[in-house]
Amino acid sequence: MANVPDELQYSEEHEWVSGELTEDSVVTVGITEHAADALGDIVYVELPTVGDTVSAGEVCGELESTKAVSELYSPVSGEVVAVNEELSDSPELIGQDAYGEGWIYKARISEVPKGLLDSEAYSAITE
At residue 42, the pLDDT reads 96
Spatial distance between the Cα atoms of 4 and 22, rounded to a whole number of angstroms: 22
The CATH number assigned to the domain with range 10-113 reads: 2.40.50.100
At residue 85, the pLDDT reads 97
| DSSP letters for 59-123 | EEEEEEESS-EEEEEPSSEEEEEEE-THHHH-TTHHHH-TTTTT--EEEEEEE---S-B-HHHHH
Q: Do the Cβ atoms of 90 and 102 come closer than 8 Å?
A: no
Question: How far is it between the farthest Cα atoms of the chain?
Answer: 37
Show me where the domains of the chain are located.
Answer: 10-113
At residue 125, the pLDDT reads 94
Q: Give the number of C-alpha atoms closer than 13 A to the C-alpha of residue 71, restricted to the C-beta side.
A: 8
- In angstroms, the Cα distances linking 6 to 16, 23, 45, 67 are 11, 22, 26, 29
**Counting Cβ atoms within 10 Å, is residue 110 exposed (0-12), middle (13-18) or buried (19+)?**
middle
At residue 1, the pLDDT reads 54
pLDDT in tens, the chain (127 residues): 568 999 999 999 999 999 999 999 999 999 999 999 999 999 999 999 999 999 999 999 999 999 889 999 999 999 999 999 999 999 999 999 999 999 999 999 999 999 999 999 999 999 8
